[in-house]
Amino acid sequence: MSTKKTSLKDIAQKAGVSTALVSYVLNGKEKESRVGQEIAIKIRQIAAELNYQPNHLAKSLRSGKTHTIGLIIADISNPFFANIARVVEDEAKRNGYTVIIGSSDENADKSRDLLNVLINRQVDGFIIVSAENSESQIQYLNDKNIPFVLLDRYFPEIQTDFVSTDHYKASYEAGLHLVKNGYQRVGMIAYESKMYHMQERIRGYQDALRDALPGFQKSWLKRVRMNNIEKGVKAAIDEMLAGSQPVDSILFATYSLALGGLKYVNELGVKVPTDLAIVSFGQAEVFELYYCPVTYLRQPIVLLGQTAVELLVKKLKNNLNEPAQILMKAELVERASSKAKTTVSI
């Protein structure tokens, strides 16, 4: 049985036209080449009948475009990034692009290796969730005029296109929510990190408490190293619950920190929200499945992913030079883990 691929020449012979004419039609250039509508329809019908498959490799060699986008995310095991990847993939496909996904595992060296592999693969552009200490990689892409859009995390000192949640506002709102619900000693567990999005989450929390709580104490904020989450979270919670004035609520700066925290709180037999109220960044099914559903900050995943693709495609098609910098609002989804304290009157 013959598996010979249908060529433009085969279609041209059957349609009784030149190969060039078939090429114009199948590349969507019939209007520019003034090909009649009837003959264009006939060529497309014959191509479909003969099951013509375009040779994308040959096309990319001619055009210098591969119609692929490199997506580098921070951690594929985190539901936030897994969902973002899905949205980016769907939106890119809608625009005629294939996505090659890599996870840096929050590691700058791994991120650099992925960038090099994808540049060698000749992807047309990148969407990147940056790892810590990867500024030089972003600067390199800028200097080489390689199109890219930063997603969720960005570097304010480098002029780039980015789409991100307004991390400061989200954290400020979470801190204020806990104070308004009657919590007086609001702690936060964050990463020990220079990343701007993490600094903004910490700043939002601190400003909310300084504005709303006269007795705010710096010791309520604990920082945990990314390479030692489990031990770090346990030590932080032990310190926060020790002494005569333990914290009565905790804001977790990430989903991973919250997961470690919830496990440990259970081990200790601490009841949520009776003994300790909880709010976390990052939506995940596990927050709804916990015995006391967890209040969380829902980032606009679909809008973030779609907008990043939209910006990149515009850059690829129109060579846009002015950086687009977009901040989006997170929504506080209130669940039982941070419900208002009830005061008993005698």
**Domain with 133 in it: what CATH number?**
3.40.50.2300
**Predicted local distance difference test score (pLDDT) of residue 56:** 55
**Predicted local distance difference test score (pLDDT) of residue 157:** 93
One domain, residues 206 and 126: no
Helix or strand (DSSP H, E) at 221: strand 221-224
**Predicted local distance difference test score (pLDDT) of residue 61:** 46
pLDDT average per 10 residues of sequence, the chain (346 residues): 71 88 78 76 87 63 74 92 96 95 96 95 96 96 94 94 97 98 97 96 97 91 94 98 93 96 97 97 89 96 96 86 89 96 55
50, 107 Cβ separation under 8 angstroms: no
The parent domain of residue 273 ranges over 167-299+333-338
One domain, residues 257 and 319: no
What's the gap between Cα 192 and its chain centre?
20
* The total number of structural domains that make up the chain: 3
One domain, residues 204 and 153: no
One domain, residues 181 and 146: no
CATH of residue 28's domain is 1.10.260.40
Residue in 289, 269, 300 with CA at minimum distance from that of residue 337: 289
3-state SS assignment for residue 271? coil
One domain, residues 173 and 281: yes
Please confirm whether the linkage preceding 214 is cis (ω < 30° from 0): no
Residue 61 lies in a domain: no
**Predicted local distance difference test score (pLDDT) of residue 41:** 86
Residue 278 lies in a domain: yes
Residue 62 lies in a domain: no
How many other CB atoms are there within 10 angstroms of residue 230's CB atom? 13
Residue 32 burial (C-beta neighbours within 10 Å; 0-12, 13-18, 19+): exposed
Distance CA 140, CA 254 (A): 29
Residue 203 lies in a domain: yes
Alpha-helix runs per DSSP H in the chain: 8-15, 19-26, 37-49, 56-63, 79-94, 108-120, 135-143, 167-180, 196-212, 229-241, 255-268, 285-289, 301-318
Residue 317 lies in a domain: yes
3-state SS assignment for residue 295? strand
One domain, residues 231 and 310: no
Residue 3 lies in a domain: no
Residue 215 lies in a domain: yes
**Predicted local distance difference test score (pLDDT) of residue 225:** 95
One domain, residues 105 and 212: no
One domain, residues 272 and 288: yes
One domain, residues 190 and 82: no
Prediction pTM value: 0.81
One domain, residues 82 and 119: yes
One domain, residues 306 and 255: no
Helix, strand, coil percentages, rounded to 5, for the chain: 50, 15, 35
Residue 194 lies in a domain: yes
Residue in 184, 296, 292 with CA at minimum distance from that of residue 248: 184
**Predicted local distance difference test score (pLDDT) of residue 40:** 84
One domain, residues 145 and 176: no
